[in-house]
Amino acid sequence: MDSLELIESFSEFKELKNIDKQTMQHVLEDVFRAMLKKKFNTDEHIDVIVNIDKGDVQIFLNKEIVDNGEVEDINTEIAYDDAIKIEPDFEIGEEVTEEFKFNDFGRRNILSLRQNLISRIMELEKDHLYKLYKERIGDIITGEVYQVWKKEIMVLDDEGNELLLPKSEQIPSDYFKKGESIRAVVAKVDMRNSSPVIILSRTAGEFLERLFELEVPEVFDGLITIKRIVREPGERAKVAVESYDDRVDPVGACVGMKGSRIHGIVRELRNENIDVINYTSNPQLFIQRALSPAKISSIEIDEEAGRAKVFLKPDQVSLAIGKGGHNIKLGGRLTGYELDVYREGEVDIEDVDLEEFADEIDSWIIDELKAIGCDTAKSVLEISVADLEKRTDLEEETIKELFKILNSEFE
């Protein structure tokens, strides 16, 4: 294998991987110098010239001319008689430049050289890929589904780079087949065994934000600002928007004529319900908007505790809570308050707050009940076992035991 053959063996690889010529040249020089240094114990007397375009490498050894019989190192010195055979005008003390023939490396060294080059180029590629996607975190990418596994999907980008979409980052109703096009946001870039691993997500709030930028020109141009996004992937999302231009209706612009703009986003998110609301710094008004479509009668906010009591008419409670408790959960996350729902005009002085049962009922069970708007013993007992099982993660046996504890309070 000669120098031309070695360079050509990497030219195609270089083009495919988009390594620039200057970087490739430096890599080649470094690898050759490392090999020469190993061979001669030094590289100070060596010049390496790499021409990527021509596919050529030239190595020159600079040797000092010494008296005959005084050569101590044949790699760095040359006898006077040998020097004048090259050029009769040479004198002692001058330097002679000889070209080192590539084949003088020996086949074993050439193979080692090739392996080192592959290793260096692979390192460059990993570094390039890591930096490329580190800068793209939060951006949407479109790729092709290459492989579908139980716990994740492998996606190929336009350059054939492998990206991963874990099951935990997929919308529950997502279903993809090999060869399908897929859109997701770059969530993070990890290093595993010195290799970059690009993790995608379709459940992140950034994915929904990027979709709005794609579908709503006013968001992309900055006329409308997305202040906050909260999601229950595949179920419901709430997006708080604001415009600094009074002539622009942020909610209307995001939804579009007859829902034309938001329809594409909803379809991409597997029919996830999206509530777009006007952002406000007024907490009372923001909570009211966040719990839409329910109509709130009054709100009491405890700033220190970060909680808010929301009073509604009985027929509005289920709207405020929403299917599966999603509306009130997302409303709380959007506003930053723990929201407690109360039925207006139905305060029972004989009722008992669920927190009073903290020593008998696990805290996570109480949290589950509060998530669906039940904060007192009687509000829980009013719901059937079957309905509670549907609306919470509680099992039938747990619910029956819960009812037993709550009923004992009123016996």
Residue 178 has pLDDT above 50, yes or no: yes
- Per-residue pLDDT tens for 233-245? 999 999 999 998 8
Residues 231 and 128 in one domain: no
- Residue 50 pLDDT more than 80? no
Considering the domain architecture, whether residues 76 and 165 belong to the same structural domain is answered as no
Give pLDDT, residue 46. Answer: 78
Mean pLDDT of the chain: 85
Q: Is residue 254 part of a domain?
A: yes
* 273 and 229 together in one domain: yes
Q: Are residues 157 and 70 in the same domain?
A: no
As a whole number, mean pLDDT of residues 237-259 equals: 93
Do 180 and 75 lie in a common domain? no
Answer whether residue 236 is part of any domain: yes
Mean pLDDT of 115-136: 84
Q: Which of these three, 110, 132, 154, is where a domain ends? A: 132
The CATH code of the domain that includes 101 is 3.30.1480
Residues 78 and 21 placed together within one structural domain of the fold: yes
pLDDT at 292 > cutoff 60 = yes
Q: Which of 69-73, 184-188, 278-282, 356-360 has the lowest mean pLDDT?
A: 69-73
Half-sphere exposure of 268 toward its Cβ, with a 13 Å CA cutoff?
Answer: 23
Residues 370, 391: Cα–Cα separation, whole Å: 11
Tell me the mean pLDDT in the region 35-44. Answer: 74
pLDDT at 334 over 90: yes
pLDDT at 16 over 60: no
Residue 5 scores a pLDDT above 70: no
> Rg of the chain over CA atoms, in angstroms?
35
Report the pLDDT averaged over residues 59-71: 80
In a domain, 322, yes or no: no
Would you say the pTM of this structure is higher than 0.85? Answer: no
CATH number at residue 219: 3.30.300.20
Q: What letter represents residue 273's amino acid?
A: N
pLDDT at 169: 96
How far apart (Å, rounded) are the C-alpha atoms in residues 4 and 208? 52
Q: Report the pLDDT value the prediction gives residue 1, as an integer from 0 to 100.
A: 41
Please identify, among 252, 279, 306, the residue that sits at the C-terminal boundary of a domain: 279
**Tell me, what's the pLDDT at 350?**
65
Residue 349 domain-assigned (yes or no):
no
Distance CA 322, CA 301 (A): 21
Domain boundary among 203, 231, 254: 203
Check whether 345 has a pLDDT greater than 70. no
Per the structure block, which two tokens stand in for 257?
């004529």
How many independent structural domains does the chain possess?
A: 3
Average pLDDT estimate for 61-70: 80
With 80 as the cut, is the pLDDT of residue 38 above it?
A: no
Same domain, 7 and 121: yes
Is residue 294 within 8 Å of residue 373, measured between CB atoms? no
pLDDT band at 96 (very low <50, low <70, confident <90, very high): confident
pLDDT at 379 over 80: yes
In a domain, 264, yes or no: yes
Other C-beta atoms lying within 10 Å of the C-beta of residue 163: 22
Residue 128 lies in a domain: yes
Query: What's residue 281's pLDDT?
Result: 93
Query: Looking at residues 199-217, what average pLDDT do you find?
Result: 96
Report the pLDDT value the prediction gives residue 157, as an integer from 0 to 100. 93
359 domain residue, yes or no: no
Domain that holds residue 197: 143-203
Same domain, 84 and 106: yes
| Residue 352: per-residue pLDDT | 78
- Tell whether 41 and 151 lie within a shared domain: no
Q: What is the mean pLDDT of residues 153-176?
A: 94
What is the mean predicted confidence (pLDDT) over 4-12?
52
Neighbours of 324 (CB within 10 A): 15
What whole-number percentage of the chain has pLDDT above 70?
Answer: 90
Check whether residue 27 and residue 107 sit in a common domain.
yes
Does 227 map to a domain?
yes
14/100 same-domain check: yes
| Residue type, position 211, single letter | L
Which of 97 and 245 is assigned the larger pLDDT?
245
Question: Is the pLDDT assigned to residue 111 strictly greater than 80?
Answer: no
